[in-house]
Structure 1
């Protein structure tokens, strides 16, 4: 038999010969008596309830022998609550265990990376991208995972590589090289995305294994600096076209690119925030100066062509001829004009095979922030830099390049290209 106590506060033990109540209520006898016995008023207001209480109603109740339990609202279930409490305890321990394992695994991974000379770059500005320092170069996490594959990548002598620091005119140069090597295949250039025609070595798509299995001659793009390129590149000596750009326009273009990649980077900082990261070598593939200087020192090697973005802007047709001669693919004047027309900034910006519009379908680009091909100008930095920005970057350039002989153009007027006669437009 059990007694259900409604709205009562018991101040003594579960088996007690004397019970205390804070307020007057009623006692329900269940599973034994169906009747309800009300307390006499004289037992209300914290009065002591004697074991002989039941005798007043013709009932004898031995409170010492009767187990008492709470019945909140008449529907409590101690066993159910106990099971829920146990379940919550087990879940808490389980979550705690998973967190401990995750933290331990992360620390073990950090230790493993440090053993190989790889250290995580810690900066709260990057919400999602993981940056690591390896051989004094900041590289993103997806590159760290394939460093061994990159180092041991099998290079071929007939490969053609386009190498650059990000936002230096890479896609522009790639398209020119593709058209020269493909015999001006404009149909493919307009219908197949450039990452399929001219894949990005260290990017997730199409993947380094797929790049390695391509038929020759392979066209390969990379942002890796010279010191992180495959070992065989120094032995096989494939043709390498390196394109550089003045750092002031790079930092502006890179800032908007990072904002556009917000679904991937989660970067929401200001231009000044990004400028700080750039100057501290905390953006992917930095330091910029080392990236450029290493290839500038290789510019006289037979298999290296060093180009400047600003020279492409000043004389696109002359730059196309220079690239064609380097690739041993001389072009007629008409062919040069066709390529120049196809590769004009506005035409490439409208071309879905070069403007990376497919990135929006994959959810990796936010075009409300910027376009992949934004302006393509020389001198846009003037609308973003303050005096402090300018002084900082000038000091860096003066210190790093003062004895190199390399000079940068920070302002030019876009030339009017003579590449729009009717025969060029019709063919292209």
Structure 2
């Protein structure tokens, strides 16, 4: 409501949108690097000195109770803003076809989302409060009790918007970005109207961006090793870096949990044209079958 009443969007605004624990930090870094690739040298890049959340402002955190948006009103265009809000909650002035602002959205296999959210929640658990069990986290997630609403509804909101307004909303899958990072970076650049030139391709700028924003590189920056928390920043920089892997859920979820989540996902996405990858490659010799949740030899 505060955004609807007080935020003044610009045609050049770029909104990095995610459901929590779907690659927010990574996408912030990638979009920031793509847009600002001519402003900084990679050897002395802001991402080597600051966490992506300090470079791409979190929209919900900058709309104060009194309606003040001063901290983002003065940002130069194009403004890069981040959000966890469902697409349906944005005002029409940002989502209708007359608005030129663009949304870059990333989603992730819900099984990995659940595991990541569970670890993250327990990191932030107040002292003296017992940890949240995986079973409890699983039950809540399946019921749709989650930050910013049910995970599946969040994904479908942006997915449907991307079909209706492909020039306004771009949907990415975490697994695709991990598998083909170069192609996904080019795709984002094209969507934002700043495609890589032949000269930039020859200089391997795309490769430089992918390397700079990789989990391995960012997690090893001193600024992201900090575990300091404060009232202004109750989440430390190190809290945003755990594994960044595809398929880590297999180390935590039981076959029954996996099967239930797959069934919910199939039911929610049926007839929408959207799906996550059906098979997770674990090695050169085995794959996990989502139908029977067992390991089978290739």
TM-score by length of 1: 0.57
Tell me the equivalent position of 1:70: none
Matched, 1:269 2:128: no
Paired position in structure 1 for 2:35: 181
Q: Provide the residue aligned with 1:240 in structure 2.
A: 103
Matched with 2:185 is: 320
1:228 paired residue among 82, 89, 107: 89
| Residues 1:231 and 1:208: Cα distance change in structure 2 (over 3 Å) | farther
Shift of 1:197: 1.6
1:339 counterpart residue number? 209
Instruction: Decide whether the 8 Å contact of 1:258 with 1:267 is kept in 2.
Output: no
Q: Does structure 1 conserve the Cα–Cα contact (< 8 Å) formed by 2:48 and 2:218?
A: no
**Structure 2 residue 123 is the aligned partner of structure 1 residue 260:** yes
Q: Where does 1:32-43 land on structure 2 (aligned, <5 Å)?
A: none
Contact (CA 8 Å) 1:264, 1:364: kept in 2 or not?
A: no
Relative to 1, partners in 2 of residues 1:204 and 1:298: Cα closer, same or farther, differing over 3 Å? closer
Deviations 1:34-89 (A, max 9, x none): xxxxxxxxxxxxxxxxxxxxxxxxxxxxxxxxxxxxxxxxxxxxxxxxxxxxxxxx
**Rounded Cα–Cα distance in structure 1 between residues aligned with 2:128 and 2:120:** 10
Shift of the 199–352 alpha-carbon distance from structure 1 to 2, 3 Å rule, reads: farther
1:282 aligns with 2:145: yes
Partner of 1:190: 48
Distance change (3 Å), C-alpha of 1:234 and 1:319: same
Question: C-alpha separation between the residues in 2 aligned to 1:269 and 1:303?
Answer: 38
Q: Helix, strand or coil: the match of 1:202? A: helix
- Structure 1 residues 365 and 327, CA, compared in 2 at 3 Å: closer, same or farther? closer
Deviation by residue 1:384-414 (Cα, 9 ceiling, x = unmatched): 1113312221221121111111111252469
Q: Distance in 2 between matches of 1:330 and 1:240?
A: 17
Q: Distance in 2 between matches of 1:295 and 1:379?
A: 23
Alpha-carbon deviation of 1:343? 1.4
Report whether the alignment pairs 1:407 with 2:248: no
Q: Secondary structure at the match of 2:162?
A: coil
Q: Deviations over 1:209-253 (max 9, x none)?
A: 412332211000000001112332124231110111110100001
* Count of matched residue positions in the alignment of Structure 1 and Structure 2: 265
Cα 1:348–1:205 change in 2 (3 A) is farther
* Distance apart, 1:330 and its partner CA: 2.2
Asked if 1 retains the 8 angstrom alpha-carbon contact of 2:58 and 2:82, the reply is yes
Does the CA contact (< 8 Å) of 1:258 and 1:265 recur in 2? no
- Counterpart in 1 of 2:293? none
SS of aligned partner of 1:224:
coil
Q: Give the match for residue 392 of structure 1.
A: 260
- Asked if residue 310 in structure 1 is aligned to residue 175 in structure 2, the reply is yes
Unaligned runs of 5+ in 1: 1-146, 415-428
How has the CA–CA distance of structure 1 residues 335 and 189 changed in structure 2, closer, same or farther, with 3 Å as cutoff? Answer: same
Higher RCO, Cα 8 Å, sep 6+: 2
Offset, 1:371: 4.1
Name 2:58's counterpart in structure 1: 200
Q: Quote how far apart the aligned CAs of 1:152 are.
A: 4.0
Is the 8 Å Cα contact of residues 165 and 223 (structure 1) preserved in structure 2?
Answer: yes
Q: Is the 8 A contact 1:356 1:372 kept in 2?
A: no
Cα shift readout 1:250-286 (whole Å, capped 9, x = no counterpart): 0001111111122499572111111111112222112
The 1:238–1:366 alpha-carbon spacing in structure 2 relative to 1, beyond 3 Å, is closer
> In structure 1, how many angstroms separate the alpha carbons of the residues matched to 2:219 and 2:69?
27
Task: Please tell me the root mean square deviation across aligned C-alpha atoms, in Å.
Answer: 2.7
Deviations 1:340-388 (A, max 9, x none): 11112111112245x3736535573489xx8421111111111111133
